[in-house]
Amino acid sequence: MLNKYKIRVLQVFFILTGIIGISVYGFSGLFTSLIVYIVLEVFAGNATLHRYYCHRSFKMAAWKERILCWLSHHIGIGSVLGWGGYHRWHHMHSDTEKDLHSPTVQGIPHVLFGVWDANIPRSMVKDLLSDDKLVWWHRNYYKYHVIVIISLMLISPWTLVFVYAIPNLFSLLSAYAIAILPHRTSDVKNDLLTEVLTLGEGWHKYHHDNPTHYRYNAYDITGLAIHYLLKERE
Ligand SMILES: [Zn+2]
Ligand SMILES: [Zn+2]
């Protein structure tokens, strides 16, 4: 049971560290946080965790996958295996009683503070379970974050705040934006504000209709990054 709260504890750590860090160091490091967030969100969160692993929407070279697999687990919304299962479940049951984070059915407080939990059938993540490095990262996800936190606290608290905690807080807010804004009516919509905040994930109706497409519209920043920098040419 306690396991279900671990991710929320990590996320509360991002918030508290962000607040304490800004009160100690001021706002000058936020530009660095923004740059780290943009790189993490576009390449690791959106392109790799979501479009590559959850939806298998493109192929990339093994060396790129290894680096981005690590960076995907650097984001504090759960392992690829854990979050991936939940996200596939969301696609199957969006805006219904079975959804994990519908703002209209489960409610916005649940999206923001609740425990997103479902008994995901193993068959839904069979392809992810067959990847040994994803299983390793799933088992060691929290150990990795504890090691990063302790190391940065000892070596450079400024880095802990502006390179680790605040970019992760931005990624969390981005995940909230995707869960809430395009689903805020009982039907999924494309949403321009979400598109800007999440760097390409806002064309959410298009994505629900075409989950295996890696690019959602002509201006989709993540789609462009995949197309020009990540996708293996056939
Ligand atoms: Zn959705
Ligand atoms: Zn999706």
**For 177-192, what is each residue's pLDDT tens digit?**
999 999 999 889 999 9
Tens of each residue's pLDDT in the chain, 234 residues: 457 789 999 999 999 999 999 999 999 999 999 999 999 999 999 999 999 999 999 999 999 999 999 999 999 999 999 999 999 999 999 999 999 999 999 999 999 999 888 888 999 999 999 999 999 999 999 999 999 999 999 999 999 999 999 999 999 999 999 999 999 998 899 999 999 999 999 999 999 999 999 999 999 999 999 999 999 987
Ligand minimally distant from the alpha carbon of residue 216 = 2
Alpha carbons 60 and 183: distance in angstroms, whole number: 30
3-state secondary structure of 124: helix
Q: Which ligand is nearest to the CA of 45?
A: 2
How far, in Å, from the CA of 90 to the mean position of ligand 1? 6
- Closest-approaching ligand to the CA atom of 177: 1
Separation CA 93–CA 230 (nearest Å): 30
Neighbours of ion ligand 1 (CB under 5 A): 94
Cα of 204 from ligand 1 centre, angstroms: 6
Encoded amino acid at 71, one letter: L
**Three-class DSSP category at 197:** helix
Task: Write phi, then psi, for 171 (nearest 5 degrees).
Answer: -65, -35
44 Cα–ligand 2 center, Å: 14
Backbone region of residue 56 per phi and psi (left: phi > 0; alpha: psi in -120 to 50; beta: other values)? left
**Contact residues for 134 (Cβ-Cβ < 8 A; gap 6+):** 53, 69, 79, 80, 81, 128
Give the model's pLDDT for residue 2: 53
> How close is the Cα of 169 to the center of ligand 2, in Å?
20
Q: What is residue 186's predicted lDDT score, i.e. its pLDDT?
A: 81
Mind listing the pLDDT tens digit for each residue in 121-163?
A: 999 999 999 999 999 999 999 999 999 999 999 999 999 999 9
Distance 50 CA to ligand 2 centre (A): 6
| pLDDT at residue number 233 | 80
Residue 13 contacts residue 146 (beta carbons within 8 Å): no
- Ligand 1 center to 202 CA (angstroms): 10
CA 211 – CA 54 distance, rounded (Å): 9
